[in-house]
Amino acid sequence: MKNWTMAVPFSVFLVPGCVSQQTYDQQVQQTQAAVTLEKQYLALNQQFQAEIAADQVQIRQLKDRLVVTFVDEILFASGSAEMHAKGRSTVGRAVPTLASLTGHWISVEGYTDSEPIGPALRGRYPTNWDLSAARAVDVVRYLQAQGVDPRNLVAEGYGQYQPVASNDTPQGRARNRKIDIVLRSK
């Protein structure tokens, strides 16, 4: 009897530390995803050092995703939905990191300010939503042409409907005109 009473308290301490294989696998997968995001964060920070210093690119690592924000002028001329040469060159620096990703979504999100589309562009882009989506699609097409797996790419246009700053000032409107590249696990 003594042996049994000694074993019971000891086994009680062991049981709470046990986890199912499924829980263990999920924890391992989450840890691997976090390590992968950290590596991508470091690589992208290195690739965009000059733009980060010039406040043209911002990289944020959030719990389950990585967000690379480009101010629109570094990629597009005003009112245009086609990346200019400098924009292609800038985004192109991320291609080695993005092309090597497996098991991740690469969402390209376009945003605009609330200023109405000018008359010269209204025929092609009737709303800011159209312009933001067209810009996101242009970046996605460029990434695909550079070797990023199209099965991992998503283009989204948000127009002026998710501002990060007030549209009442030129500075706020400038902050709202942007492209985000968001990396997250599938």
Residue 134: CB atoms within 10 A of its CB come to 18
Rounded CA-CA distance 65/104 in Å is 10
- Exposure string of 107-122, with b = 16+ CB inside 10 Å and e = fewer, is bbbbbbbeeebeeeee
> Which stretch of 5-9, 24-28, 103-107, 162-166 has the lowest confidence by average pLDDT?
5-9
Q: Picking from 6-10, 85-89, 148-152, 164-168, which range would have the lowest pLDDT averaged per residue?
A: 6-10
Report the top-level CATH class of 23-185. Answer: alpha beta
pTM of the shown model = 0.83
Q: How far apart are CA 110 and CA 162, in angstroms?
A: 10
Q: pLDDT tens-digit profile of 62-101? A: 988 999 999 999 999 988 899 999 999 999 999 999 999 8
The residue ranges of every structural domain in the chain are 23-185
